[in-house]
Amino acid sequence: MIDTGIFFLYLAVMAGVTYLIRMIPLVLCREKIKSRFIRSFLYYVPYAVLSAMTIPAIFYSTAGLLSAVLGLTAAVILSLFEKKLLTVAIGACCTVFVVECIQKLF
């Protein structure tokens, strides 16, 4: 059992660092950035971050590789038709669920 005081000390440091990282840029950058390079960079970065976070992590997000690949396929197809986020998320989850249920049968 960890001492409660020690726990709160760690908690404060952990939450504090995490919050400052989020807060400082949001509070300091209050003007629109003029530099064309930086604006271009900021335009691309979000998509790059999301892509890097998805591949290859998505392949290991379910019980098995096959269900993950088919879940990803479902998500890609639904997204190409520009379905809502919730629709895409539920579609992928259902695909994974059904594939894993079928796999258990064999």
Q: State in angstroms the smallest separation of the CB of 12 from another protein.
A: 8
Q: State in angstroms the smallest separation of the CB of 106 from another protein.
A: 15
> Are 42 and 32 spatial neighbours (Cβ–Cβ below 8 Å)?
no
Residue 27 or residue 106: which is nearer to another protein going by CB?
27
Q: State in angstroms the smallest separation of the CB of 95 from another protein.
A: 8
Residue 32 or residue 106: which is nearer to another protein going by CB?
32
Q: 75, 53, 57: which is closest to 65 by C-alpha? A: 57
DSSP string covering 13-78: HHHHHHHHHHHHHHHH--SPP--HHHHHHHHHHHHHHHHHHHTTGGGGSSSSHHHHHHHHHHHHHH
Q: State in angstroms the smallest separation of the CB of 3 from another protein.
A: 10
Residue 53 or residue 106: which is nearer to another protein going by CB?
53
Residue 44 or residue 106: which is nearer to another protein going by CB?
44
